[in-house]
Amino acid sequence: MKAEKSIKKYDYDVAVLGAGPAGIMAAGKAARFGASVVLIEKNFTLAKKLLLTGNGRCNFTNAEFNLSELVKNYNNGKFLFHIFSVFGPKETIKFFEELGVKTKIEKNKRVFPASDSAQEVLEALEKYLAENKVNIIFNSEVINVDHSGKKINKLILKDFSTGLGNGREITAKKYILCTGGKSYPLTGSDGFGYKLAKKLGHTIVKPLPALSSIRIKEKWVKNLQGISLKGVKITVFQKGKKRFQEEGSILFTHFGVSGPAVLNISANVGDLLENGLSVGQAGEAKICFDLAPLLNQGEFGEKINEILKKYPKKKFKNILSDFAPEKLAEILLDIAGVDKNKMAGNVSKIERGMTAKIFKNFEVTAESIFGFNEAKTTRGGISLAEIDGKTMRSKIIDNLFFAGEVIDVDGKTGGFNLQMCWSTGCVAGESCGQESMICVT
């Protein structure tokens, strides 16, 4: 037995599948250990999706440095605790600053490049790959793997970069699967990673669109198109049972609702619509909005009373702008059965109470959530029970590691998803780069 440093038996020490944020980070980190690394990407360019992030501004992390708080922003966040302790938001900001990207922190701790340019982030990553001598093969799709027992032997590619076409083979000591989830498939992430992992014996938690807008059944919602509201509390019910809560900004659209708070609950709503609380309950989810979450109904009624007294000669619908835009106020008054054209001075105590009630709790019915073409990330993926949370290694295939959206973790809006990609990419890359250099054959 001898330690192997050359690549005689293998084409590379490490092969990384997919050049999104997770794959780029994994490839660079592995190469820093001196491993020869190949990064295989089916597109002509790196990280197509990264350029779309944050509306082209790239909200690349969140400055939540308390890891116990940080993990609360994820579905299955506990799995990430150790990974974040190795490479969390602080390390990520330092990483990009060292690559020359000046950063800034905006509202809700969202971190962006100071230039507001995702392109700058991408160029920094290109520089990182070049500095660490990562070999990149573009326009080359992994279509299969050859494996025996607990080991991958080689990758089989559909490779248009070399003219070798179908069947080009690549061997490596270690493989890192970073092919993304199913969201925005036009950027390259079409769920291939799930098929591959399944073939290798992994369990796939059913992928669902996450961070997606919600279609609403009530037709009147269309009339509110373009209205956005801040600080709204959203509660989701199924069969009268409270299921989820979220607070933040919402946006009415021509089909329903969107905005950060809505995106954050969308996967949960999708799950309720598809699976329900129990058999027979699928297909129903009520979404309740509270426009004044800081006040209880009585206090809110008092606020309304103050305004009624201030403007007794104005129409009721015209004096509620402190709480909702006029269009929304009119609709809510109609739903509550209160005459919106009544003079404020004539509004009764009962009508005031009904108004407070509807503003604190108006309900719409979720019809469906937008699919993978619009979803910003994927819920579900490779089961975490089969991944070692210290190294990102598969517990089924010894020389396979995972990073990024392909695993069963998803985050809220605010830079959390990219942070998960940098962190899992770093840990997978370091574990596998380190091991491949001391690997005994």
Ligand X SMILES: Cc1cc2nc3c(=O)[nH]c(=O)nc-3n(C[C@H](O)[C@H](O)[C@H](O)COP(=O)(O)OP(=O)(O)OC[C@H]3O[C@@H](n4cnc5c(N)ncnc54)[C@H](O)[C@@H]3O)c2cc1C
Our CB check for ligand X shows the closer of 141 and 271 to be 141
The three-class DSSP label of residue 221 is helix
Our CB check for ligand X shows the closer of 65 and 220 to be 65
Site for ligand X contains 266 (CB under 6 A): no
207 vs 402: CA distance, rounded Å = 16
Of 7, 52, 307, 439, which one interacts with ligand X (CB under 6 A)? 52
Show the site string, 123-162: x = touches ligand X by CB under 6 A, - = not. ------------------xx--------------------
Of 73, 179, 355, 431, which one interacts with ligand X (CB under 6 A)? 179
220 vs 407: CA distance, rounded Å = 39
Of 36, 103, 355, 417, which one interacts with ligand X (CB under 6 A)? 417
We find the least distance from the C-beta atom of residue 395 to ligand X, in angstroms, to be 20
- At residue 136, φ and ψ (nearest 5 deg) are -115, 130
- At residue 254, φ and ψ (nearest 5 deg) are -70, -15
Residues 6 or more apart whose Cβ sits within 8 Å of residue 278: none
Site for ligand X contains 192 (CB under 6 A): yes
Residue appearing with tokens 């049972």: 241
Q: Is 344 left (phi over 0), alpha (psi -120 to 50) or beta?
A: alpha
We find the least distance from the C-beta atom of residue 66 to ligand X, in angstroms, to be 18
Our CB check for ligand X shows the closer of 60 and 316 to be 60
Greatest alpha-carbon span in the chain: 93
Site for ligand X contains 188 (CB under 6 A): yes
Show the site string, 5-34: x = touches ligand X by CB under 6 A, - = not. ------------xxxxxxx-----------
Site for ligand X contains 418 (CB under 6 A): yes
Site for ligand X contains 40 (CB under 6 A): yes
Are the beta carbons of 185 and 168 closer than 8 angstroms? Answer: no
HSE at residue 210, side-chain half, CA atoms within 13 A, is 24
Show the site string, 86-105: x = touches ligand X by CB under 6 A, - = not. --------------------
Residues 6 or more apart whose Cβ sits within 8 Å of residue 133: 31, 37
142 vs 122: CA distance, rounded Å = 23
Show the site string, 376-405: x = touches ligand X by CB under 6 A, - = not. xx--------------------------xx
Site for ligand X contains 71 (CB under 6 A): no
Of 36, 76, 132, 189, which one interacts with ligand X (CB under 6 A)? 189
Please report which residue ranges of 186-238 form alpha helices under DSSP H. Answer: 192-199
Q: How many residues bind ligand X (CB under 6 A)?
A: 40
272 vs 266: CA distance, rounded Å = 10
Which tokens is 54 given?
């944050």
Are the beta carbons of 114 and 103 closer than 8 angstroms? Answer: yes
Our CB check for ligand X shows the closer of 170 and 232 to be 170
Residue appearing with tokens 């490490």: 14
We find the least distance from the C-beta atom of residue 251 to ligand X, in angstroms, to be 15
The site for ligand X (CB under 6 A) is made up of 17-23, 40-43, 47-50, 52-54, 58-59, 141-142, 178-180, 183-184, 187-189, 192, 376-377, 404-405, 415-418, 421
